[in-house]
Amino acid sequence: MTQDSLALQAIRRKLIGKSLTYDEIFAVMDAISHEKLSPILTTYFAASGYSKGFTNEEIYYLTKAMIETGDKLQFKGIVADKHSIGGVPGTRTTLLVIPIVASAGFLIPKSSSRAITTPGGTGDDMEVLAPVTFTKKQIYRIVEKTNACIVWGGSVDIAPADDDLIKVEEPLMFESFDKILVSIMAKKIAFGSNHIVIDLPYGSHMKVQRKVDAEHLKGKFEYLAQRFKVTLQVYLHETTQPAGRGVGPLLETREALKVLEQTPDRPLDLEEKGLTLAGMLLDLCLKDSPKKLQDQVKNEFGDGKKWAQYILSSGHALKKMREIIGAQGGNPAIISDDLHPGQY
């Protein structure tokens, strides 16, 4: 049987509720990623997961096949990342977590996911400060120079089947949790991350509304992490209000810069949230770090969050952010006051 007819057969089998093998799922992802599957057939595949859902095994296969049918990045040693599952705008902690963790000495190459149901992604925020579209080679160079990058995920061919699936999911205005999971994990793993914090807020205005669903999703993230042999922690918390006061790339970026600059009028809730996530990620990275570093951090700061606090308040995070902006071709001297609403 050819790959194409195997893909079609797999879609039909999944539609009537059968479980799929890795070969079948690979055939579907391969056909999608090489644009050999029409939008109609891609839609049937997207639809096939709603009723019975995918088994954990199938979710692993899906994620793996998405990674294998696209490009991959590879780094040495500990590679950190954090991902926030949003739902409301104004909850951007990326521009805080990245420079803090990079300043601590860990690699943290960040590919921002495309906005699906929210008006803008982190890539939009970073683009206020610097270009975000780079080749794989350029990304390696930026990360080598600064320990970090904040780039548009679409600029490299990472998990390309995911983008096509998102396209046919958009008109339905209805995401399944399994697809959020697969989409995030495929992009993280393909980007080479092996120490990951998932920020999973739940609440009536969030993407995940009920605690029980959030806990279920948390379990699936942990399952996938174990299958891919990566270290992952899910930060589950109830949220009623977005952090920060700004909505839209320009205001969000200005808020984040104010925190990095430690201005008196900075949004303290956003700072607190950024420190919590950065602290978690630092603790996660520390566990696999040399004993010497572990002891040093413990003695000097106490824990990851206090380490993050020091990096932020000492101005190291701001300095690192300026390095990253510069390496990505932006103006490293930019300050929050330069960003005026209506400028874009």
Q: Give the interface with its own copies as residue ranges (CB under 8 A).
A: 8, 11-12, 15-17, 38-41, 43-44, 46-48, 50-52, 168, 171-174
**Spatial CB neighbours of 97, under 8 Å, sequence gap ≥ 6:** 82, 108, 274, 277, 278, 281
Cβ closest to its own copies, residue 92 vs residue 220: 220
Q: What's the min distance (Å) between Cβ of 76 and its own copies?
A: 43
Give least dist CB 134 to its own copies, A: 31
From the CB of residue 84, how many other CB atoms can be counted at a distance below 10 Å?
21
The tokens describing 331, both together, are: 């103006």
Describe the crossing of helices 249-261 and 94-103 by its angle, rounded to 10 degrees: 40
H/E stretch holding 7 reads helix 3-15
Give backbone dihedrals phi and psi of 268, rounded to 5 degrees, phi first.
Answer: -70, -30
Contact at 8 Å (CB) between 230 and 80? no
Judged on CB neighbours under 10 Å (0-12, 13-18, 19+), 208 is: buried
CB of 39 to its own copies, least distance (A): 6
Which token pair is 114? 């495309």
Q: How far is residue 304's CA from residue 126's CA, in Å, rounded to a whole number?
A: 25
Q: Which is nearer to its own copies, 59 or 148 (CB)?
A: 59
Q: How far is the CB of 45 from its own copies (least distance, A)?
A: 9
Nearer to its own copies, 17 or 264 (CB): 17
Closest distance to its own copies from the beta carbon of 84 (Å): 25
Q: Distance between CA atoms of 272 and 289, rounded to whole angstroms?
A: 25
Tokens encoding 78:
């500990």
- Min dist CB 101 to its own copies, Å, is 38
Minimum distance of its own copies from residue 289's CB (angstroms): 44
> What are 81's strand-pairing partners?
196
Nearer to its own copies, 41 or 85 (CB): 41
Select 16 or 333, whichever has its Cβ closest to its own copies: 16
Question: Could you give the C-alpha distances from 186 to 189, 284, 300, in angstroms and in order?
Answer: 5, 20, 36
Partners of 150 in beta bridges: 110
Q: What is the smallest separation between the CB atom of 171 and its own copies, expressed in angstroms?
A: 5
Closest CB to its own copies among residues 8, 85:
8
Q: Which is nearer to its own copies, 12 or 287 (CB)?
A: 12
Please identify, using beta-carbon distances, which residue of 46 and 108 lies nearer to its own copies. Answer: 46
Axis crossing angle, helix 316-327 with helix 94-103, rounded to the nearest 10: 100
Minimum CB separation of residue 207 from its own copies in Å reads 15
C-alpha to C-alpha distance for 307 and 81, rounded to whole angstroms: 17
CB 193 within 8 A of CB 286: no
Which one, 39 or 119, has the nearer CB to its own copies?
39
